[in-house]
Amino acid sequence: MKALKYDPLDIVVTGVGGQGNVLASQVLGLALLTAGYEVTVGETYGLSQRGGSVTSQVRVSSGPVLGPMMPDHRATAIVSLEPLEALRLLGVYGHPGVVVLTNDRPLRPLGVLAGEQLYPEPAELRATLESLCAKLYWLPATAAALELGNHILANVVLLGALCGLDLLPIGAAEVEAALGDMFPESKMALNREALAKGLALVRAA
Amino acid sequence: MADVSKLAPGQKVLMQGNEAIARGALEAGVSLAAAYPGNPSSEILQTLADSARSAGIYVEWSTNEKVALESAAAASYAGLRGMASMKQNGVNVAQDFICNLTISGTKGGLVLVTCDDPSGVSSTNEQDARFIARVACLPLLEPATPAECLKLTKLAFELSEQIGNLVVLRGLARLSHTRAGVTPGPLPEAKPRPHWDPNERWFTIPVVPRHQVMLDKLAQAGELIAAAGVNYYDGPVRPELLVIASGSSRLYADEARRLVGAGGRVGILHMGATWPLDQELILEHLARADKILFAEEVDPHIESGVKSIYAQHVRELGLKDFYGQETGHKPPIGELSPSRVAAAMADILGLPWQETDPAYLAKAKAAQALVAPRQVGFCPGCPHRASYWSMKQVLSADGREGIVSGDIGCYTMGVLPTGYERVNAVHCMGSGPGIASGLGKLRSQGFEQPVISVVGDSTFFHAALPALVNARWNNSDYVLVVLDNSATAMTGFQPHPGTGSTAMGQAGTAVDVEQICAGLGLPYTVLDPYDLEATQEALYDALQIGGGLRVLIFRRTCALVQNKRGGHPWRMSVDPQLCRGEDCGCDRFCTRVFRCPGLVFDQATGKTVLDEVVCVGCGVCAQICPAGAIKARPKEATA
Ligand code: SF4
Ligand code: SF4
């Protein structure tokens, strides 16, 4: 078992209901548990299906079992399927050393659709995120998923991207094996491609 | 959910707290499990339902939580083990039965699981259901991790059978939905055949001597709990600060002492069982520390219990400082967190505590001005949006300041902008028709506003029926609108009596809302809420008639269920030539007022555009556009 670079390793996985971030956190949790670490995956999904924010917390340690909630402003990384959600969570878990990996595709809240609130311009959002973290990966995960034929694969693209950073004690192969535990083989070809696309995106970044 | 009866004993797997409770029940040999769906508890019964056939047990969704517990008690009287699971509100529904059951007693192990929801993430309140243990003198277990969920569920059955009374297991929303490593144990080989010895009778009289028996059982439970070792201490022999904690707060306290760098100075008394409180253990640890902090969610259940023990022993213990809800070191509302406990510890021990660099904090906080809130709303194509739209139109045309009495389900969101804030009151399951019943009897004293009570199909069976009988009997004047979407959508699409299917996927007998109305002698009309004109006409007429209780059934399948069943019929488009944009119906009528997320106002062109990824094609918005700009064409024709 490889030593953890960060112990505890605290990864926030966030997005909007229906984007598949709960699945992404489960896959990550399963891969890390299989690799022998203590893993706690905390999920909140109250009214998630109806347009709300959904956040899960993947907590990994080599020592004591951790609770389902991480301390504020101590996350190792924030992985977000929606860029505004990344900024929302920096207000809770962010600190100068945090790494942020986010999909660049906005999903506008109801109030924005109704014209009551504004969604920041992409450039402003990106610059603000950049100013609040050690390193920002602003990735076209939805676009990459659409190239594979389904926007829902954005979560797997981001998992692939996460594997390309030097944060996890495991690699894409372990994540792929965990995906294989949850999906039938017929779906795995696409999942493999999505992981590979994510890896390629961070390498290019 | 997965069939957890197939898991290999001894092999560690990633398991959700709720799944671990289900597995624990199977390992304890549960024979009958029943529940009413309610987040955060729903996955317990769903997991058992999906494991029922291979485990050879009976699992049902019951009409409500009281019936669920009564069914489970039947198994107990027949010598088997039973379990009922529910969210915190459900404990209130079952309470009358519980308070009598605790006097009559039980035979086979009987366990009640309550999943509390601190912060009310998916609830109308954040009630601490541990009160039931005090009120009904029942042993109470509180796991902290999924692994403990399994272990304490098994213990709960043992304990129940040993003392002959119900045992309560308290979960928490976070724990219910936390996944962590769990190592399953073996499943039981064979279970006894159910039989109720006709010489055995279970009742509560004579009350006073039986009350004593109940108290004796609780005392016996205290001894068994102490022997089981579920309460334990972890820390230095004489800690500067003793934390007494239960549930997830035990883990928060453990992390907090590391965060503030006080590992060697802080001890934690882990309470796996919080009723009855282990007096001997508590006294032993009170004697070794002068400062005591309580960490628990939501009410000061342990705090008040420990302080009362202390009051009896103050002479031998001497002066102590207690920190908790009374001193503001534990919030009286909302969830706890490692940070909150760390802040309390730092304050008590006089240590510095900083979440992160203050300059960063200020910057991150300022940046939140860019972040629009993400308010929840009805799904695209949701029949409830159409229903509330019609109520809004009709009540405004009616002009008599009509009142809508709400209830519990997705349609509770009628209080929010997504439902045009059309609902005037929401409380608990079935309270809507009850309040309407009272309003409808104020006519003779001059109450002239029309009254609509909205109730979902699942809620109709859960708790609305007595209120309807009441209204019928007393001739109360209101319109009941049954929002029949053929699902318990809010909690994960469980079947209910009206659907006719059961938890284990077998055919039950569908209970028909129309037949119930007919049986009560209530006039009713069935409508499709997607047909706005017909719905509004019928609702308007129903409001004008007056008289007694009358029923409109708005029947249309939940949009999410429909998506899985082949989807909706229309392909939508917006004609930019016809769209009036900001001049439409006092400005952007469809996006600003109707607000289906499938319609987006494009600031650049000043026109509405359709988001084809979001729109499901229900066709409703085409009926509301005054300019006829929103078009619906059949999907097949364009494909
Ligand atoms: S789940 Fe169904 S009933 Fe609930 S908001 Fe969505 S479409 Fe409406
Ligand atoms: S047809 Fe109109 S109302 Fe229905 S989902 Fe699409 S945009 Fe919403």
Lookup: tokens for A86: 């990344």
Rounded to the nearest 10°, the torsion over CA B485, B487, B492, B494 is 180
Degrees to nearest 5, angle at CA A60 with A54 and A62: 170
Question: What's the rounded Cα separation, in Å, for the pair B484 and B458?
Answer: 8
Q: Write out chain B residues lying below 8 Å of A122, CB-based.
A: none
Question: What's the rounded Cα separation, in Å, for the pair B156 and B321?
Answer: 34
**Which pLDDT value is given to residue B639?**
43
Q: Is residue A1 part of a domain?
A: no
Handedness of CA B480, B483, B487, B492 (dihedral sign): negative
One-character DSSP codes across A74-134: --SEEEESSHHHHHHHHHHH--TT-EEEEE------HHHHTTSS-PPPHHHHHHHHHHTSS
Q: Is pLDDT of B492 > 80?
A: no
One-character DSSP codes across B601-621: EETTTTEEEE-TTT-----HH
Q: Does domain B231-349 have CATH number 3.40.640.10?
A: no
Q: Write out chain A residues lying below 8 Å of B356, CB-based.
A: 73-74, 94-96
Percent of the residues in chain B that have a pLDDT greater than 70, as a whole number: 99
Q: Is residue A3 part of a domain?
A: no
* Closest C-alpha to ligand 2, atom 3: B621
Q: Is pLDDT of B531 > 90?
A: yes
- Identify each DSSP E strand in B183-240 by its residue range: 231-234
Q: Which amino acid is at B63?
A: T
Could you tell me if B178 and A22 are in contact, meaning their C-beta atoms sit under 8 angstroms apart?
no
**Which pLDDT value is given to residue B495?**
86
Q: Collect all residues with Cβ–Cβ distance below 8 Å to B636 and sequence separation of at least 6.
A: none
Report pLDDT digits (tens) over A113-147: 877 889 999 999 999 999 999 999 999 999 999 99
Q: Collect all residues with Cβ–Cβ distance below 8 Å to B48 and sequence separation of at least 6.
A: B22, B25, B26, B30, B33, B57, B59
CATH number at residue A121: 3.40.920.10
Could you tell me if B443 and B477 are in contact, meaning their C-beta atoms sit under 8 angstroms apart?
yes
Question: What's the rounded Cα separation, in Å, for the pair A17 and A29?
Answer: 19
**Which pLDDT value is given to residue B305?**
98
B301 contacts chain A (CB < 8 A): no
Instruction: List C-alpha distances in Å: B587 to A57, B109, B416, B490.
Output: 42, 63, 20, 33
Lookup: tokens for B147: 């692994």
Q: Is the Cβ pair A113, B591 closer than 8 Å? A: yes
Q: Is residue A155 part of a domain?
A: yes
**Which pLDDT value is given to residue B67?**
98
Q: Count Cα neighbours of A128 within 13 Å in the Cβ-side half-sphere.
A: 24
Degrees to nearest 5, angle at CA B216 with B211 and B221: 125
Sheet containing strand B140-141, edge to edge, reads: B58-61, B30-35, B81-87, B110-116, B167-172, B140-141, B273-275
Report pLDDT digits (tens) over B52-93: 999 999 999 999 999 999 999 999 999 999 999 999 999 999
State the CB neighbour count (10 A cutoff) for residue B42.
27
Enumerate the β-bridge partners of residue A138. A102
Ligand 2 center from residue B380 Cα (angstroms): 6
Q: Is residue A2 part of a domain?
A: no
B412 contacts chain A (CB < 8 A): no
Q: What is the largest CA-CA distance in chain B?
A: 87
Ligand 2: list residues with CB < 6 Å: B 380-381, 572, 596, 598-599, 615-621
Q: Measure A201 CA to nearest chain B CA, in Å.
A: 24
Q: Measure A111 CA to nearest chain B CA, in Å.
A: 7
Degrees to nearest 5, angle at CA B33 with B56 and B515: 105
Q: Is the Cβ pair B597, A64 closer than 8 Å? A: no
A70 contacts chain B (CB < 8 A): yes
What's the whole-number mean pLDDT along residues B311-339?
97
Mean pLDDT of chain B: 95
Containing B360, the helix (H) or strand (E) segment is helix B358-367
Write out the CATH class of domain B4-191+203-228.
alpha beta
Question: What's the rounded Cα separation, in Å, for the pair A106 and A124?
Answer: 13
Q: Count Cα neighbours of B22 within 13 Å in the Cβ-side half-sphere.
A: 31
Ligand 1 center from residue A50 Cα (angstroms): 8
Q: Is pLDDT of B334 > 60?
A: yes
Ligand 1: list residues with CB < 6 Å: A 50; B 378-379, 382, 384, 410, 485, 489, 558-560
A198 contacts chain B (CB < 8 A): no
3-class SS of residue B315: helix
> B570-638, what's its fold?
Alpha-Beta Plaits (3.30.70)
Enumerate the β-bridge partners of residue A43. A56
Based on the structure, what is the number of domains in chain A?
1
Range of the domain at A157: 9-204
Ligand 1 center from residue B487 Cα (angstroms): 9
**Which pLDDT value is given to residue A46?**
58
Report pLDDT digits (tens) over B217-245: 999 999 999 999 999 999 999 999 999 99
Q: Is the Cβ pair A84, B355 closer than 8 Å? A: no
What's the whole-number mean pLDDT along residues B548-562?
95
Q: Is the Cβ pair A73, B361 closer than 8 Å? A: yes
Q: Is pLDDT of B587 > 80?
A: no
**Which pLDDT value is given to residue B179?**
97
Beta pairing class for B291-295 and B241-245: parallel
**Which pLDDT value is given to residue B638?**
47
Mutation pick for ligand 1 pocket among B415, B490, B499, B560 (CB with most ligand atoms within 8 Å) = B560
What's the whole-number mean pLDDT along residues B324-339?
96
**Which pLDDT value is given to residue B441?**
97
Could you tell me if B276 and B219 are in contact, meaning their C-beta atoms sit under 8 angstroms apart?
yes
A149 contacts chain B (CB < 8 A): no
3-class SS of residue B242: strand
Lookup: tokens for B619: 């066709």
State the CB neighbour count (10 A cutoff) for residue B237.
7
B558 contacts chain A (CB < 8 A): no
Nearest by Cα to B466 from B434, B442, B436: B434
Domain boundaries, chain B: 4-191+203-228, 231-349, 383-564, 570-638
Q: Is pLDDT of B601 > 90?
A: no
Report pLDDT digits (tens) over A146-165: 999 998 999 999 999 999 99
Ligand 2 center from residue B629 Cα (angstroms): 13
**Which pLDDT value is given to residue B588?**
83
**What kind of architecture, by CATH, is found in domain B383-564?**
3-Layer(aba) Sandwich (3.40)
Q: Is residue A49 very low, low, confident or very high in pLDDT (cuts 50, 70, 90)?
A: low
**Which pLDDT value is given to residue A47?**
56
Sheet containing strand A53-61, edge to edge, reads: A135-139, A99-103, A77-80, A9-16, A53-61, A38-44, B179-182, B13-16
Q: What are phi and psi of B133, to 5 degrees?
A: -65, -40
Q: What ipTM score was computed for the predicted complex, to two decimals?
A: 0.95
Ligand 1 center from residue B40 Cα (angstroms): 18
Mutation pick for ligand 1 pocket among A45, A48, A49 (CB with most ligand atoms within 8 Å) = A49
Question: What's the rounded Cα separation, in Å, for the pair A1 and B21?
Answer: 30
**Which pLDDT value is given to residue A45?**
67
Q: Is residue B1 very low, low, confident or very high in pLDDT (cuts 50, 70, 90)?
A: confident
Q: Write out chain B residues lying below 8 Å of A68, CB-based.
A: 174-175, 177-178, 248, 251
